[in-house]
Structure 1
């Protein structure tokens, strides 16, 4: 992952997969593409009817990890953030 990624959260509700990426800086197109690639890897493991919709969110945040919305769970937390 890119060095500006602090954490990535995942959630699944009502057949929608949500991935939320927290960054040290404003999101770039590269950041958005990276998150889209991660979503693609995840949904490729499931039948299409199980995850028909995805939402991908990249946002800058400098608040502590403990205060971020983890959705269902964090799937990545940068080592120095733990």
Structure 2
């Protein structure tokens, strides 16, 4: 147990900041999805448009996995130090 570690308060502050950043990036990605019409590709879209929307969707999926792992596994473990 590292509860007597002098940096424990710094770790807790950092975790609080990281949770807040995850909320902020979640809001930003939601706005992107909304602006992009839920990534629905028009029938007359060019290849660049199609690729861009597919990559945005992949990015969002990867980001959700990243945030889930940190918020639900890594950060709680660090908070229990």
TM-score (norm. length: structure 1): 0.30
Larger radius of gyration: 2
Higher helix proportion (structure 1 or 2): 2
Higher strand proportion (structure 1 or 2): 1
TM-score (norm. length: structure 2): 0.31
